[in-house]
Amino acid sequence: MRLTTRAPWRRALVAWGGAAALGLSLALPAAEDAPAVGLPFEEQVQVCGACHGSDGNSQQAGTPSLAGQPELTIVNQMIYFRERLRQNEVMTPQARGLPDGEIQALAAYYHEQPVATPEGDPDPELKALGQELAAQQRCASCHQSDYRGREQMPRLAGQREDYLVAAMIAYRDRTRGGPDTTMIDVMRGVPDEDIEAMAHYLTYLHAEE
């Protein structure tokens, strides 16, 4: 399947046959493949870690932490990026051509990583408001009472605040693609102030006050 989705010249090369031609095409990843494709697992973790943090706790603005995410969440989102159902100019090229098995192994690894305590201190008032709003909207009914997520529903607890805000705005404004439209319905018409409060609450959920 992987070979048939490649550029025409590659298909021609494979069709032309011969073990040498096939070997060559497998040894040289197509130019459009993600940097991690085909690397040993430890090196893949370094590639992803340059943005997501070596232990999956992101220190980079706009880049989500992967630590503690449900495996299915990571697998799904990677496949959405790979198939260009979810578009992001930074992340989409990182998923291009990554085979299912490699995605699965990375998802299992990140799922096992402990979630780091977020930097900074929560604002108790904003956190309390966020808690109230999240309770009203029953966010926990899907994301679990401690917001660790489950299956295709991402972990929210301890996630970067800037990323949570951006993700919720993207659902509300319908700029985040993907086949799962659950969150578009949830976020419809939710004002920025409410989004900011909920993001603050979720980031600092398990932090000391």
Instruction: Catalog residues that contact ligand HEC under the rule CB under 6 A.
Output: 36, 44, 47-48, 50-52, 62-64, 66, 74, 77-78, 88, 90-91, 94, 106, 134, 137-139, 141-143, 152-154, 156, 164, 166-168, 178, 180, 182-183, 186, 198
Output the smallest distance, CB 120 to ligand HEC, in A.
19
Output the smallest distance, CB 1 to ligand HEC, in A.
20
CA distance linking residue 66 with residue 165, whole number of Å: 16
Output the smallest distance, CB 18 to ligand HEC, in A.
32
CA distance linking residue 32 with residue 7, whole number of Å: 10
- Residue 23 or 99 having the CB closest to ligand HEC: 99
Output the smallest distance, CB 30 to ligand HEC, in A.
16
CA-CA distances (angstroms) from residue 154 to 62, 132, 202?
16, 20, 12
Residue 89 backbone class (left: φ over 0; alpha: ψ -120 to 50; beta: rest): alpha
- Residue 24 or 50 having the CB closest to ligand HEC: 50
- Residue 36 or 115 having the CB closest to ligand HEC: 36
CA distance linking residue 52 with residue 20, whole number of Å: 38
- Residues 18-26: contacts with CB under 8 Å, at least 24 apart: none
- Residue 48 or 157 having the CB closest to ligand HEC: 48
Output the smallest distance, CB 55 to ligand HEC, in A.
13
| Token pair recorded at residue 51 | 């943005």
- Residue 15 or 61 having the CB closest to ligand HEC: 61
The answer to whether 73 and 152 are in contact (CB under 8 A) is: yes
